[in-house]
Amino acid sequence: MESTLKEMRNGESVLDMNDKSGVGGGVEDVYGEDRATEDQLVTPWSFSVASGYSLLRDPRYNKGLAFTEAERDAHYLRGLLPPVVLSQDLQEKRLMHNLRQYKVPLQRYIAMMDLQERNERLFYKLLIDNVEELLPVVYTPTVGEACQKYGSIFRRPQGLYISLKEKGKILEVLKNWPERNIQVIVVTDGERILGLGDLGCQGMGIPVGKLSLYTALGGVRPSVCLPVTIDVGTNNKQLLEDEFYIGLRQRRATGQEYAELLDEFMSAVKQNYGEKVLVQFEDFANHNAFELLAKYGTTHLVFNDDIQGTASVVLAGLVAALRLVGGALADHTFLFLGAGEAGTGIAELIALEISKKTDAPLEEVRKKIWLVDSKGLIVSSRKESLQHFKKPWAHEHEPIKELVDVVKAIKPTVLIGTSGVGKTFTKDIVEAMASLNEKPLILALSNPTSQSECTAEEAYTWTEGRAIFASGSPFDPVEYDGKVFVPGQANNAYIFPGFGLGLIMSGTIRVHDDLLLAASEALAAQVTEENYEKRLIYPPFSNIRKISANIAANVAAKAYELGLATRLPRPQDLVKYAESCMYTPVYRHYR
């Protein structure tokens, strides 16, 4: 009862299908999709071609009520569907209507995940066409709550789970995944999920969500994306006692045991997918995040979104904000609350940018950037007891404990929150910023919304409408004194999809800091006059596919310039090329 399912491409541009180096490239199989070449197909099981009943249950090919009469005849679907044939647009309208009936964000999340598992193209069509409405559902902030409750809302598994039980067998585990041609992996060990802490194995929501954005915002096709959660246990007592917890019920393995599992994973990835697969580290705890990036940065194509992606997006916002506050970056004084991955990552990229622009040595430039951690202002007298990533920021100053006193002493023009702790920019702190600056620049970056250092409304009201504000999680526009201010979302979702697309489409083999600067520059260039009028320092997400194409092009251009790109010859028009590589979610016709 098997039919051969062939797709006629309906206007979607697909990369040169015989060129495995391209985005989603590979060899066409009966699906008209790209699977691996024969010699790569060393699977423990074999593919079968879906038709009839199983076609309806294959989310990658299912179209539900949109199967045409001819398709219903050719693929044994007669009688398995009610008589009506709907257009994809009408399916979208119906689903959006249903989704809006749910008042509880988590219900919307579950409905979206169900759709992803049922009809992938329709899922991406909804997400792309309604990006501003649905981003907060499949991503920050709702994804945070979903991870907290992942065990009880668990339905079909998504992504690949690699736990201590799989030690010694990780290569085999990778081969269990149905796709051979993988180009982007997002991996977490769940130890620091957003600002919510250790969620263990339930952190899987994060790689799944991030990769949905790779496809929706960056146009990387879903079949080449692989979400991975490494489960080495959790130190979250509540989860360990939760009868619905889905992970290993033990405390976290550390030290050599941890390092060995990660090492086996990284080797298996390279062995199975080659050296051009991008591995994005997400939501690891500080110590591991910095170590893994340093360890694998020279041997693999790795990117830490929380350190590098966040840095690039924040730098873009700061550069854009100069249009509103005036001066050059070098004229500003920066103060961070939080000296972890995001804080030190952003600080370092700002310093690098200023140093390149002014020819001043990095050590000099760093002196205008101050960081506060849980013990207060980081100063040189603390140097011995500091973790290595904080040391560059230990400047000469007397110790100060309270943030409000630090603000008064350092007199920053820019205040950035990256501590993962909510409500820490209190009224007195924001007022102190307002008394020091005509237009105080305040970024409350911690996620999800519950961990935001202050709300948009607080930032505008406490500064009498003078603040330039952006936040990691989305806030609605705020009306103050007859004016409407639109807070920007300084979220790495602006950067990583386009950044990853740029790396993949150029066959780049290593991430370099200059590529992050190229991404920032491209993002900042997308902010328009109309945005600035609303005090917005990021372009709206509704234009994200165009923004991503521009980021991808600028990143690829820099990679070619640095000799890191292996896809030759270099395409002439990189923006056009990026656009031509992007996945579109319109249905294909099956013959």
Ligand X SMILES: O=C([O-])CC(=O)C(=O)O
The yes or no reply on residue 116 touching ligand X (CB under 6 A) is no
Rank residues 61 and 139 by Cβ distance to ligand X and give the closer one.
Answer: 139
Q: Which of 210, 276, 390, 558 is catalytic?
A: 210
Q: Could you tell which of Mg ion, ligand X, none binds residue 491, using a CB distance below 5 to 8 A set by kind?
A: ligand X
Instruction: Report the C-alpha gap between 54 and 48 in whole angstroms.
Output: 10
Q: Count the Cβ atoms, other than its own, within 10 Å of residue 70.
A: 11
Rank residues 62 and 140 by Cβ distance to ligand X and give the closer one.
Answer: 140
Q: Closest approach of Cβ 282 to Mg ion, in Å?
A: 5
The yes or no reply on residue 286 touching ligand X (CB under 6 A) is no
Q: Which of 31, 139, 460, 538 is catalytic?
A: 139
Task: Give me the half-sphere count of Cα atoms (radius 13 Å) on the Cβ side of residue 463.
Answer: 26
Q: Closest approach of Cβ 134 to ligand X, in Å?
A: 14
Active site residue 576: no
The yes or no reply on residue 453 touching Mg ion (CB under 5 A) is no
Q: Closest approach of Cβ 283 to ligand X, in Å?
A: 5
Copy the structure tokens of residue 235: 């130190």
Rank residues 463 and 491 by Cβ distance to ligand X and give the closer one.
Answer: 491
Tell me the residue number closest to ligand X, measured at CB: 140
Q: Before 141, cis peptide (omega within 30)? A: yes
Annotated binding-site residue? 447: yes
Instruction: Tell how far CA 26 is from the center of its chain.
Output: 25
DSSP 308: I
The yes or no reply on residue 140 touching ligand X (CB under 6 A) is yes
Q: Binding ligand X by CB under 6 A: which of 189, 191, 231, 283? A: 283
Determine the number of helices (DSSP H) and then strands (DSSP E) in the chain.
24, 18
Rank residues 191 and 283 by Cβ distance to Mg ion and give the closer one.
Answer: 283
The yes or no reply on residue 447 touching ligand X (CB under 6 A) is yes
Phi–psi pair at 197, nearest 5 degrees: 90, -155
Annotated binding-site residue? 192: yes
H or E element at residue 441: strand 441-444
Which is nearest to 294 in space by CA: 345, 249, 248, 346?
345
| Binding-site string for Mg ion from residue 287 to residue 306, where x marks contact by CB under 5 A and - marks none | -------------------x
Annotated binding-site residue? 543: no
Q: Before 448, cis peptide (omega within 30)? A: yes
The yes or no reply on residue 305 touching ligand X (CB under 6 A) is yes
User: Is the CA virtual torsion 517, 522, 523, 524 positive or negative?
Assistant: positive
The yes or no reply on residue 453 touching ligand X (CB under 6 A) is no
What DSSP assignment string belongs to 117-181?
A: HH-HHHHHHHHHHTHHHHHHHHSTTHHHHHHHTHHHH--S--SEEEEGGGTT-HHHHHHHSS-S-
Active site residue 546: no
The yes or no reply on residue 283 touching Mg ion (CB under 5 A) is yes
Q: Tell me which residue has tokens 């979208």.
A: 92
What DSSP assignment string belongs to 344-388?
A: HHHHHHHHHHHHHHH---HHHHHTTEEEEETTEE-BGGGGGGS-G
H or E element at residue 208: helix 205-216
Instruction: Report the C-alpha gap between 176 and 194 in whole angstroms.
Output: 29
Q: Could you tell which of ligand X, Mg ion, none binds residue 148, using a CB distance below 5 to 8 A set by kind?
A: none
Q: Binding ligand X by CB under 6 A: which of 50, 146, 186, 194? A: 194
Q: Closest approach of Cβ 310 to ligand X, in Å?
A: 7
Annotated binding-site residue? 282: yes
Q: Closest approach of Cβ 310 to Mg ion, in Å?
A: 8
Q: Could you tell which of Mg ion, ligand X, none binds residue 140, using a CB distance below 5 to 8 A set by kind?
A: ligand X
Task: Give me the half-sphere count of Cα atoms (radius 13 Å) on the Cβ side of residue 360.
Answer: 18
Instruction: Report the C-alpha gap between 148 and 487 in whole angstroms.
Output: 27
Q: Binding ligand X by CB under 6 A: which of 223, 491, 508, 550? A: 491
Q: Binding ligand X by CB under 6 A: which of 212, 304, 492, 520? A: 492
Rank residues 231 and 306 by Cβ distance to Mg ion and give the closer one.
Answer: 306
Active site residues: 139, 210
Chain residues that interact with Mg ion, rule: CB under 5 A: 282-283, 306
Binding site for ligand X (CB under 6 A): 140, 194, 283, 305-306, 447, 472, 491-492
Question: Binding site membership for (S)-malate: which residues?
Answer: 192, 447, 491
Which residues are annotated binding-site positions for a divalent metal cation? 282-283, 306
Q: Which residue ranges are tagged as binding site?
A: 192, 282-283, 306, 447, 491
